Amino acid sequence: MSKRYIASPIGDPDAYEHKLDLTRKYLRSDMDVLEIGCGSGNTGRKHAPLVGSYTAMDISSEMIERGRALGDVPANMRYVHGNFDEVETTPARYDMVLALSVLHLLPDPAATVKKIAASLKPGGYFVSSTVRTGNIAILRLIAPVGQALGLVPHLSFIKGDDIRRYITEAGLEIVEEWEKNPRSALFLIAQKMV
């Protein structure tokens, strides 16, 4: 899937650029940033020059290799092959953690958000953009078939209120919320209060 993913254009370039702009409001040159589910690292390439260090993690080693092969990787950006849910993380290490288009693909998104919150420094930010799969009824019918055939990854059927609850139950406060329309991905920035 990585070759097809990298070759496919961004579905809504204007919405993507708006999310980049919203995130940039919170970036500082001294930040240590982690992005989980980074894919090819295109978002990292855009944000890394604005921060101190940027770690781009993905569960797919092939996706990381293809991302590296694209070139133009900023000097302060490093790729890491790993599953965030399974790797050991240092408490209060990161100033920002991004999970873009990934929470709905995880078996236990609430647990992942709690782990993200634990890895944030006080005052740190969690940035997420999540497809609300719970709002797409047809997915409940076709996803199991697609998964059985190896064509579709795992999907957690979550709604916007679920995502907000995961964030607040993890002790984070939502400071930005944006959606282009009710069917689009829900973009949130939350802060770990001191």
* Spacing of C-alpha 127 from chain mean position: 7
**Which residue has better confidence, 12 or 123?**
123
The tokens describing 116, both together, are 């993200």
In percent, the amount of the chain with pLDDT more than 70 equals 83
pLDDT of 10: 76
Q: What value does the mean pLDDT take over residues 111-132?
A: 96
In this structure, what token pair is assigned to residue 18? 């708006």
Domain that holds residue 167: 2-192
Strands (E), 116-185: 120-130, 172-178
Token pair of 181 as six digits: 């329309």
Q: What is the mean pLDDT of the chain?
A: 88
The arithmetic mean of pLDDT across residues 127-132, rounded, is 92
- CB 29: neighbour CB atoms within 10 A? 8
Query: Collapsing DSSP states into helix, strand and coil, what is residue 79?
Result: strand
**Residue range 82-107: average pLDDT?**
95
Q: How far apart are CA 45 and CA 192, in angstroms?
A: 25
pLDDT at 99: 98
Judged against a pLDDT cut of 70, whether residue 151 lies above it is answered with no
The CATH number of residue 37's host domain is 3.40.50.150
Q: How far apart are CA 70 and CA 67, in angstroms?
A: 5
Per-residue pLDDT, 131: 87
Asked whether the beta carbons of 110 and 169 are under 8 A apart, the reply is: yes
User: How many domains does the chain contain in total?
Assistant: 1
Please check the confidence at residue 136 and state whether its pLDDT lies above 80: no
pLDDT at residue 158, as a whole number: 87
pTM confidence score = 0.87
